Amino acid sequence: MELANIMVNSDAENGRIRQATRSDAKEIMRVLQSAPYRHLHVDWYVPGDWIGSAGFLVKLKPKAKPSKSQFAKFLGESDKVNSLIAVTADPRPATWVRVVGLGDKETAVSDLEELISAVKAPLKQEGNNVIAWLTIEEWPNQWLKDLDFKCVNHIETYVKEDKDIPDRPINPEIDIRPVLDKDIEDLAILEAKAFNALWRHSAQGLQIAKNQAFSFDVALMNEKIVGFQLSTPNDYGVHLVRLTVDPDIQGVGIGTALMTHALKGYYRRDRYRITLNTQVDNQNSQMLYKKFGFKASGQKYPVWIHSI
């Protein structure tokens, strides 16, 4: 089945759903700027990066009567986008809802239902088995249960705003250096080893992140990568995106070494407000963060999944 031919309703008068193309870019931006219901969870990408992918669909506005203008006939009538969704894997088999724009309040729920229904087949054809949605905004939470999404976890933000670095012993066998391009594939392998499919980053995503990072370091023991930390800048300080430790080498101080090194780097560059996100059930990570003075902000975001 050709994705471009997918239609929820083949009657053009009622609108149709198809794969987004580059010619839709202007319309996509218009919807994302003006739609009453919007969602963006793009990490290091921009929405345009996914145009043309199997999981980026647009629902068109119903066709108006053809224009009688000779000028309009010569140029052709361009499609008008009413709603859209982008669901991508990074990596497979788990996908995330990255972009949503629902342009009409009256049809928002039905548009969302139709878009999710339409996107499942092409995603499954690519080998994916779940759609996840981190609802940063409140509006999706009122509808997702009825769309067969299940809330499986919450992400909580932790904050550190002091300049203290606990005086903890650092394992002398651990070396830390900035990440190199040649490390990226090894980091993706480590991600797959340390996390279930829902929470992994791909080599492609990590490479893009490297180009935008505030700091990105690897920890080595006997010249083997055993962990890494990735941080990005924001308007208020730094966000610790990732602190990954080889699950086979726990309890030797890798997380402590990476965190100490990262904090010293932040402070040398006058960044003193540090944030991070973690799952509420990730007790091991929370213990490390609390030892370094991070405090739970109370700000939590639901994580929903939908099997495909």
DSSP 8-state secondary structure symbol assigned to residue 116: H
Q: Is residue 306 part of a domain?
A: no
Q: 263 lies in which domain range?
A: 158-300
Question: Are 175 and 293 in a shared domain?
Answer: yes
pLDDT in tens, 84-142: 999 999 999 999 999 999 999 999 999 999 999 999 999 999 999 999 999 999 999 99
CB-based contact 239:294 (threshold 8 Å):
no
Q: Is residue 74 part of a domain?
A: yes
Compute the distance between CA of residue 82 and CA of residue 61 in angstroms, rounded to an integer: 5
Q: Is residue 114 part of a domain?
A: yes
pLDDT in tens, 152-174: 999 999 999 999 999 989 999 99
Question: Are 240 and 261 in a shared domain?
Answer: yes
For the cut 50, the answer to whether the pLDDT of residue 10 exceeds it is no
CATH of residue 184's domain is 3.40.630.30
Question: Are 216 and 294 in a shared domain?
Answer: yes
Compute the distance between CA of residue 168 and CA of residue 158 in angstroms, rounded to an integer: 20
Q: Is residue 32 part of a domain?
A: yes
Number of domains forming the structure of the chain:
2
Question: Are 213 and 141 in a shared domain?
Answer: no
Domain boundary among 102, 127, 148: 148
Q: Is residue 308 part of a domain?
A: no
Question: Are 238 and 210 in a shared domain?
Answer: yes
pLDDT of residue 3: 38
Half-sphere exposure of 214 (CA within 13 A, CB side): 23
Q: Is residue 307 part of a domain?
A: no
